[in-house]
Amino acid sequence: MNTARSHRLRFTTLLIGANAVFWLLFAINFAARSYTYHPHAKVFEEPSPPYIVFNRAFPFDKYMTPFMRTSRFLQWPSFKAVAKPYFWYFNNHNIDGDALYGGISVSGYYLLLVFVVSFLQWYAVGWLVERARKRTNLGPADGTSPPPLPVPH
């Protein structure tokens, strides 16, 4: 494998690895702050938790903590790319967003889909950065050093 391709793969791998670490921290945060959720008849105007995954609900009061805000900021392209088509489908088919399907709410499936799409997002970012680097000649395109300049005597 040539070194330019190797460099791109290393940078892309770094971004994907960082994304994996981010989602691991997200899962730990979710597990630490969530509570066991049992479906029940809602009391007057009782809101549903924002995310329910495997009968674990994330509470509203922890929804916009600094970590969750950072999550939205770092993954916003994934959240935006998935949101419209995903919720358009459920809204057009009158699927109840408060119901659980396999222990996961509609917004929980949305979160899982964002998780998957985020890896594509960061792969694309790595690819675009390397392509831009190659086009602007910020680094050697073929992985070799440029020939040395002649030294005047």
> Tens-of-pLDDT digits for all 153 residues of the chain?
455 555 556 788 899 999 999 999 999 988 888 888 877 777 887 777 878 888 888 887 766 788 888 888 888 888 888 877 887 787 777 777 677 888 888 888 888 889 999 999 999 998 888 888 778 765 555 556 666 667 776
Q: Can you give the length of the chain in residues?
A: 153
Tell if the pTM clears 0.75, that is, is over it. Answer: no
Q: Domain map of the chain by residue range?
A: 3-39+47-135
Q: Are 103 and 54 in contact (CB under 8 A)?
A: yes
Distance CA 106, CA 52 (A): 8
